[in-house]
Structure 1
Amino acid sequence: MNTAVKEQESAAATSESKLKAFVEQLTNGRVTSMQRLVRWRPAWNLEVDSNGHTLRLHLRGERGGDVSPFPDLRREADILTLLGQHGIPVPRIHGFCEDPPAIVMELVRGTRDLSAARSDEERRDLARQYVRAMAAMHQLPVEPFVAQGIDRPKGAEAISLAGLEAYYPLYERNKTRPQPLVEFALGWLRRNVPMHRTDARFVQYDSGQYLFENGQLNALYDFEFAMIGDPLADLASARMRDNYEPLGDSFCDLYAYYQEVTGERPDPDVVRFHTALFSTVSAMQFSSTVATPQPGDPHDTYTEFDIALRRVVVHALAEAMGVPLETPALDIATQGPNTALLMMLEDAVAQVKVSDEFQQSKLKSVSKLVEYLVKGDAMTLRLQALEQADAEALLGRTFGHYSEIDAALEDFVGSAGPEYDEPLLKLFMKQIERRVLVFGGTAIGGSASHIDLPPIEPR
């Protein structure tokens, strides 16, 4: 075991010891079980013996890295506390550990996996329970959240772009290379703000997340990105989530039900706008993690997010602009110049055996990256040649090297008029669709290959 791994394991053990001590002091009890969850973000489930009563808790740790527009974890704890006080079903907050930062909350029973529901009827009912809980949250007065320090946007532009303005400083601070697709999307969003949306509400902003058991919704969860903005932003992000965590019923039926519960008139174009906006800010959030990876990052997860979110950006903009989706033809090569060396690497990784479940997850991440690299070795030069040809045709100039293209495209995006919206979108569409053709069959690219935005209105 190398020194870096030993240091990481020692730091993890120290953190767990501190968390255990904090929970025991907080509850005046004794931790009898502490299980770290196998996921990319630090999280634990605990059982505590408190005066003969078993207390089940969940600890939510920091993401790590600079990938959050609201990095103060206490902010989420305070929001959850306030929501609970107003009757919204969320986990009860027991306390907050400062070192290492972690929210100590109730361990809510249940699952988010709707395949565990007993019938389609139960799934539809759960989806409606969720819509009612979301609608109730949207009806809350915003003043208590403002008093807690959450920004209250005023005016249609500020309300519609609240998510963009929250994420932009993070994107700008970490931007290390040109991002022509993101800059194109940002320009389109700023030019197409729905100016009639003037009612700011508290929104989860990463919605569609809830736990249920025995046909009953037990809690909404994950309020890390919550803010005050347009409530239709929550409908849009739930719509996006339906790709990989089904909502339980068709989105158009649930949107109609939301209108029934709230009395709000249908506004499908605004849902389309917020689908494009939420996918754009999500891509902004992770753009630098792939451009400039940092030690300790969950590299496979961030790469998966990056390719999937960029595809959603393109699909959402195409929908909002009325541009049909097109899949370019592409001959796929299966071997590249480093095939033999990569086979050795795959075999070497397969020979590594670890017994610890958490370290097994780390080894699986390495295997996913190697699989992705195999596809890249076979096809990256071909993809780059096609992208260079597309850029040269649109911009009317030639490039000496592929590395010059993104900067030139970003410059063009910044100065081009709306008449170039469709040609630019089609260029970005070809870029991402080709990459999904190459990488979509891998574990990392699987999410991108299943992007399919559900209809907003009945067909």
Structure 2
Amino acid sequence: MMMVQEDQKFHTLVHRMNAAWQLLRTWVLKGGISAQVTGLEILQSDGHIIKLIVREHGDLDLQRNPHIAADEFKLLNLLHSENVSVPKPYHLVPDGELFLKPALVIEYIEGKANFAPSNMNEYTYQLAVALSQLHRIDCSCVDVSFLPLQIENYNKLLVKDLLRLDSLLNNSDTLEKIHSFLRLPSCNKVAILHGDFWPGNLLWNNGQLISLIDWEDAAVGDPLADLANGRLEFLFHFGEDAMNCFTNHYQAMMPTVDYSHLAYWDVFAALRLCRFSEWGLDEETVKMMHDKHRFFVTQAINRLIS
């Protein structure tokens, strides 16, 4: 009976979106940890078949931002209008209407993440193109008031997770530098940030990057925040050379960005990604990530004190 009720909810949803559409099937999409994701296959009145996704955000995201579905819907509309490669948003389901939680209906992208690129230079180049395109959007010309400030997010991380970085940051000089930096105005223009820029949130098809997905961590702030997060993720998954290649491509495409404070943003990226031991990974992978994480933090600290 529960399955019948769930199916009926999706039939009702499709009918509300367009009374002439017919739901052909649904399926559960696996792999995400921040949302419950259901695929929909729909027959349109003209005979064409489209695939959509229903995203229901998880409890942690909703606790952090009760309006996260509506905010992501607005953001995807904005990015789609700016020709950023994101899933097209179709419909927003308010809280308690059809589903227990608010839900977002977006385009289904025929692609998958690529963790084994055959050409690392081309791979990192395409990622740098996508990130630079996002960061070039002029925030003074679009409404981004619904997005949080990334610096405030990192202020909270600094309080909560600083001790996880063991002894590397546990000295007064380094801590004072970091806290002083938080009080300084940004050297760069505010940009829209993905907030979780890593290979798992990038979809590929036939060697082409076709979509940036999962925007629940989006914010506004210094573009170096996204760059630093991507740098650490590249170090984790592909090594130091790939990290540097990605960084060099981005810097070449964004020559007007001031990179003098990148070391600070590297520290914040390390704070954000310091809980990998809790991700259910095998012991060998955790050790590898710990070693790379410590290398990344050490490099950042050395640049801060030099």
TM-score, length of structure 1 as denominator length: 0.52
Q: Distance in 2 between matches of 1:17 and 1:69?
A: 30
Determine whether 1:320 maps to 2:300: yes
Is the CA contact (8 Å cut-off) linking 1:59 and 1:103 kept in structure 2? yes
Secondary structure, counterpart of 1:59 in structure 2: strand
Structure 1 position 307, deviation (Å): 9.4
Q: Look up the match of 1:50.
A: 44
Does 2:140 match 1:139? no
Gaps of 5+ in 2: none
Secondary structure at the counterpart of residue 261 of structure 2: helix
Q: Which residue, out of 232, 235, 238, partners 1:240? A: 232
C-alpha RMSD of matched pairs (Å): 4.0
Q: Which residue of 1 aligns with 2:252?
A: 260
Give the aligned partner of residue 190 of structure 1. 179
Cα offset, 1:258, TM superposition? 1.6
2:96 aligned with 1:96: no
Corresponding residue pairs, total: 283
1:118-133 aligned within 5 A: 119-120=118-119, 123-133=120-130
- 1:310 deviation in Å? 7.7
Where structure 1 has 5 or more consecutive residues not aligned to the other structure, the ranges are 1-8, 154-158, 291-298, 324-420, 422-459
1:356-371 equivalence runs, <5 A: none
Summarize the alignment of residues 325-364 of structure 1 with structure 2, pairs less than 5 Å apart: none
TM-score if structure 2 supplies the norm length?
0.74
CA distance change for structure 1 residues 130 and 20 in 2, over 3 Å: closer, same or farther?
farther
Three-state SS of the structure 2 residue aligned to 1:143 is coil
2:24 is matched with 32
- Matched to 1:197, the amino acid is C
String of CA shifts for 1:102-142, please: whole Å, max 9, x gaps: 21111111111143x5x42xx53243222112112111111
Task: Give the conservation status (yes or no) of the 8 Å contact 1:162–1:229.
Answer: no
Q: Which residue of 1 is the match for residue 220 of structure 2?
A: 228
Matches within 5 A, 1:100-111: 100-111=101-112
Are 2:153 and 1:163 equivalent residues in the alignment?
yes
Query: Structure 1 residue 309: deviation in Å?
Result: 8.4
Spell out, residue by residue over 1:276-305, the C-alpha distance to the aligned partner (whole angstroms, 9 max, x if none): 202313558x99xx7xxxxxxxx858xxx9
Aligned letter for 1:280? Answer: L
Q: Identity percentage over the alignment? A: 19
Match of 2:147 among 147, 150, 158: 150
- Cα deviation digits, residues 337-369 of structure 1 (max 9, x gap): xxxxxxxxxxxxxxxxxxxxxxxxxxxxxxxxx
Name the structure with the higher strand share. 2
In the TM superposition, what whole-angstrom CA distance separates every residue of 1:243-280 from its partner, at most 9, and x where no partner exists?
55559x7222222222221224673x633321220231
Please show how residues 397-412 of structure 1 align to structure 2 within 5 Å.
none
- Structure-1 separation of matches of 2:257 and 2:147: 27
